[in-house]
């Protein structure tokens, strides 16, 4: 159960539409799993062009998915008419990401008016069994949408 409350009751649609409308997200081809206030799950199916030579997901892809998941978790808490942008993220790869999908689960640690910090676990495997492959800390800047 989430410990945050969304100020925008339409947060799930806004986050999905915003993130999935980004060219990089379209290129990766991921989709959302669970979305709740302060939490976001992104599911990336395996594709050969996202792999390195040994066949598992390339590390840069894990970093991008962590960034999207952390930013999406932070985005669930934004007021209507606000957006966020990544200030910084750090990814620690713990094990090769092998399997039919990667699941990045972002969770807000601390939110403020202008900065939100999230943590992300990146798991790889199949739908039934996943192994922790990376962890990340993502910091987002919150701001009103420019008109």
Residue 37 lies in a domain: yes
In a domain, 6, yes or no: no
Q: What is the mean pLDDT of the chain?
A: 96
Residue 16 counted as domain residue? yes
- How confident is the model over 101-140, as pLDDT tens digits? 999 999 999 999 999 999 999 999 998 899 999 999 999 9
Report pTM.
0.95
Q: Is residue 2 part of a domain?
A: no
Question: Domain for residue 108, yes or no?
Answer: yes
Whether 114 is in a domain gets the answer yes
At 75, which CATH number?
3.10.129.10
- The residue segments making up the domain with residue 78 are 11-144
Give the per-residue SS3 of the chain.
CCCCCCCCCCHHHHHHHHHHCCHHHHHHCCEEEEEECCEEEEEEECCHHHECCCCCECHHHHHHHHHHHHHHHHHCCCCCCEEEEEEEEEEEECCCCCCCEEEEEEEEEEECCCEEEEEEEEEEECCCCEEEEEEEEEEEEEEECCC
Count structural domains, the chain.
1
């Amino acid at each position: 159960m989430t410990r945050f409350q969304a100020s925008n009751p339409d947060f799930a649609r806004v986050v999905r539409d915003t993130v999935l409308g980004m060219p990089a997200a379209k290129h990766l081809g991921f989709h959302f799993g669970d979305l709740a206030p302060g939490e976001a799950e992104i599911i990336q199916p395996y594709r050969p062009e996202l792999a390195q030579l040994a066949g598992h997901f390339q590390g840069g892809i894990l970093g991008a998915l962590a960034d999207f998941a952390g930013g999406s978790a932070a985005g669930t808490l934004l007021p209507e008419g606000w957006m966020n942008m990544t200030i910084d993220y750090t990814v620690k790869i713990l094990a090769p990401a092998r399997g039919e999908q990667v699941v990045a689960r972002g969770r807000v640690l601390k939110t403020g008016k202008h900065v939100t910090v999230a943590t992300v676990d990146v798991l790889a495997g199949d739908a039934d069994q996943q192994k922790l492959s990376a962890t990340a800390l993502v910091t987002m800047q919150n701001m009103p949408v420019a008109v």
